[in-house]
Amino acid sequence: MKNLLGSSIKDLENVALNYGQAAFRGRQIHNWLYNYRNKKKNIEQIEALPLDFRKKLKEDGFKVSELSLQEKNLANDGTLKLLLSTYDNETIECVGIPTEKRLTACLSSQVGCPMDCKFCATGKEGLKRSLNSSEILDQILFIENEMNRKVTNIVFMGMGEPLLNVDELLLSIRSINEDFQVSQRKITVSTVAVPKMINKLSEKSFQILGNCQFTLAISLHASNQKTRESIIPSAKNYEIKNIIEDSKKFVRDTGRRVSFEYLMLSGVNDKLEHANELSNLLKGFQCHVNLIQYNQIDEVDFKRASLKNLQLFQSILSNNGIAVSLRKSRGLDKNAACGQLRQNARNK
């Protein structure tokens, strides 16, 4: 099947020309594909196109969407979580996180995840496969269609490890930027960190995108190697000091500061000694720390750190010259943790 989603205006103009149509027909397809008000998913429903052209595209295997909506949960704070089915009967999650001025789409890059982070529900069943760029982009359309708003910000913080699917990731970022008209500066790529892949990400970004303006967010979650290995098994393959060195190189190569995600787990990484240790680890280069409240799941014993500990931890980092912010959890009443909705659906 040939999925049109992710195609540029030029690509679609060429499709039209190959079928003996005028180039503007390709622009009509492009306008139809990326209009958030359009809730239709079938090529034969592109009413601006001649009927015989639509029929020919369908006969030749062109399509728009390979995903279908299986379940949706709307939280009291307006956060919308969608469970989507793929063409091969797997499921993925995506989330729409609204505020008054913006709508952030949290996207998955893989079906499942191989990293097996101990605090995360996604990794409990391992990796099934990586998503292609059209499957990544389709998540945005589902969020926009369901929430009847245009997505303004993107975070790759859903299911999967984006740096293990770097080519499709960057192809989707190209389309998000050029076709969905979302600035790279409003896109964040979150990674647990994979050896050699931070450097590869910046190199391939310049090759595929021509630049590298999105934000790299590294899920650090610890201030030392021992603690990190206890909650992220894959950390044994990538020393925390080497992650920091590769992050510094990313800043030098791209001019973009790196964000470090730090999930506060009670009694594990939320002590004052951890705050001071993290300060020493990160001082001296362009970075930012996001302290995150933990969304608890039944399958593990980790508990959320107290708000008092969060605020004290934040104060220590700030006093040590580290840029830091506290990110509150959203959608707590509706399977908010990554992978939770998928796992609950599989258990029904």
Cα separation, 94 vs 113, whole angstroms: 14
Q: Which of 93, 135, 168, 261 is catalytic?
A: 93
Residues 242 and 271 in one domain: yes
Q: Which two tokens stand for residue 101?
A: 């001025």
**Could you confirm whether 93 is annotated as catalytic?**
yes
Within 10 angstroms of residue 55's Cβ, the number of other Cβ atoms is 13
Over 60: is that where the pLDDT of 189 sits? yes
Cα separation, 44 vs 211, whole angstroms: 37
Residues 287 and 249 in one domain: yes
Residues 50 and 91 in one domain: no
| Beta-sheet strands, E only, within the chain | 2-3, 62-63, 68-74, 80-85, 91-98, 103-106, 110-112, 127-130, 153-156, 187-191, 215-219, 258-264, 287-293, 324-327
Question: Mean pLDDT, to the nearest integer, of 180-192?
Answer: 97
Question: What CATH number did the domain enclosing 326 receive?
Answer: 3.20.20.70
Number of domains in the chain: 2
Q: What is the pLDDT of residues 130-181, one digit of tens each?
A: 999 999 999 999 999 999 999 999 999 999 999 999 999 999 999 999 999 9
Q: What is the pLDDT of residues 25-82, one digit of tens each?
A: 999 999 999 988 887 778 888 999 999 999 999 999 999 888 999 999 999 999 999 9
pTM of the model: 0.91
**Could you confirm whether 338 is annotated as catalytic?**
yes
Q: Which of 113, 117, 120, 338 is catalytic?
A: 338
Range of the domain at 23: 2-63
Residues 306 and 250 in one domain: yes
